[in-house]
Amino acid sequence: MSVGGRGPRGPYTALGRERDDEHPVDLALERLAPLRELRARIRNASRRLAEALGKRREPWLEVEALLNDYRAAREEACFDLGFEHGLAAGRAQALRRTASPQGQEALALADRIRDEALLAGLPAAAVVTALLEAAWAVALGLTDQPTPTGRRNP
């Protein structure tokens, strides 16, 4: 599942290994003590619940399997979203280092536009088209002379 508009193979999947191997992100997460301890507590509680349910535990096992599928898909989506947002932020920082200095308001506007573009959930080509259309409209419609309302005159 890819949430960043990069097709079916997102960054999380691209880091993966063969089916039998552990995913490198999962291995890194397993080394975090608070998660390891919480996972052990969850396993113990699940075992106690299954024992308490006895022969009627099938619905619980089904729910547990569905929750595992949901968590795995959510973790992959979170990784992909974090990767895409981090990549976009890194590119913006690199570009800012090479560009002429801008005011804080202009940088904040650029950050908001970048975030909205990433959250739109559209294919990259559609996002670029929308951004170019907006840039073109602004470039053709603004002058450097503000009106009394603070807006610029065409």
What are the pLDDT digits (tens) for 115-144? 888 888 889 899 999 999 988 888 888 665
Tokens found for residue 86: 């981090």
Residues paired with 146 in a beta bridge = 152
Tell me how far apart the alpha carbons of residues 141 and 130 are, in angstroms, rounded to a whole number. 16
Determine, yes or no, domain membership for 31. Answer: yes
Binning pLDDT at 50, 70 and 90, where does residue 6 land? very low
Would you call 152 helix, strand, or coil by DSSP? Answer: strand
The total number of structural domains in the chain stands at: 1
Buried b (16+ CB within 10 A) or exposed e, 78-108: ebbbebbeeebeeeeeeeeeeeeeeeeeeee
Tell me how far apart the alpha carbons of residues 85 and 79 are, in angstroms, rounded to a whole number. 10
Determine, yes or no, domain membership for 18. Answer: yes
Determine, yes or no, domain membership for 111. Answer: no
Determine, yes or no, domain membership for 35. Answer: yes
Determine, yes or no, domain membership for 82. Answer: yes
Determine, yes or no, domain membership for 2. Answer: no
**Phi, psi values for residue 148, rounded to 5°:** -60, -25
Would you call 146 helix, strand, or coil by DSSP? Answer: strand
**Mean pLDDT across 9-25:** 71
Tokens found for residue 35: 């998660």
pLDDT (tens digit per residue) in 26-72: 778 778 888 888 989 999 998 999 899 998 989 988 998 999 899 88
pTM recorded for the entire structure = 0.52
Domain residues for the domain of 34 are: 11-102
pLDDT at 87 over 60: yes
Determine, yes or no, domain membership for 127. Answer: no
Q: Which residue has the tokens 């619905």?
A: 59
Determine, yes or no, domain membership for 57. Answer: yes
